[in-house]
Amino acid sequence: MNSIRIVISAIAVVSWASGAMGQVAQRPPVAPPKAEPIPRSAFIATMDAEFRGMDADKNGIITRKEIEDLQRVASVLAARQRNAELFQALDMDRNGQLTSAEFAALPMNVAQPNAAPVLAQVDGNRDGQATLIEYRAGKLVNFDRIDTDKDGVATVAEMKAAGVIK
């Protein structure tokens, strides 16, 4: 029975959280609700209801476990909702299955290229490009830092000491 209460409470949390966490791109943006004054009594009633929703064993005390259990259920429900919405958005022919072409339309989080860190290390004259000599010079600075005994060999022990490997 308590787990049912947690799920019911979590559903309410998820319905609120799904709006705050963002939706699948095809949904039109929803205007935020109009702000209105909240009487103290209404705030207390809402706060009490939230507390009762977290107090799974109904003993009048919320524990770390009860809060984390509710958060876990809410996260799982929100993830399932996002997955279902994403599936619906990808299933263009609405047949309940994804074809390779539909799956290929899956949005990807692709990192934006950024040459600045590499050029900062190897572009000796700061002209926005690097020659082979500049590239070698920039990279050799790290090798020479690792090769502490200056014998021209970066040993495993030296690489470990430099934090390059574990």
Contact yes or no for 17/74 (Cβ under 8 A): yes
Q: How far is CA 9 from CA 4, 56, 74, 82, 83, in A?
A: 8, 10, 9, 18, 21
How many angstroms from the chain centroid is the CA of residue 128?
33
Token pair of 80 as six digits? 């399932």
Token pair of 144 as six digits? 């020479």
- pTM attached to this predicted model: 0.44
pLDDT value at residue 27: 55
**Residues 7, 11, 13, 14: is their CA dihedral positive or negative?**
positive
User: 100-105 long-range CB contacts below 8 Å, 24 or more apart?
Assistant: none
Distance between CA atoms of 107 and 83, rounded to whole angstroms? 12
How many angstroms from the chain centroid is the CA of residue 74?
16
pLDDT by residue for the chain (166 residues), tens digit each?
A: 343 333 334 333 334 333 333 434 445 677 777 888 889 999 999 999 999 999 999 999 999 999 999 999 999 999 999 999 999 999 999 999 999 999 998 888 888 899 999 999 999 999 999 999 999 999 999 899 999 999 999 999 999 999 999 8
pLDDT value at residue 28: 64
pLDDT value at residue 7: 36
23: left (phi over 0), alpha (psi -120 to 50) or beta: beta
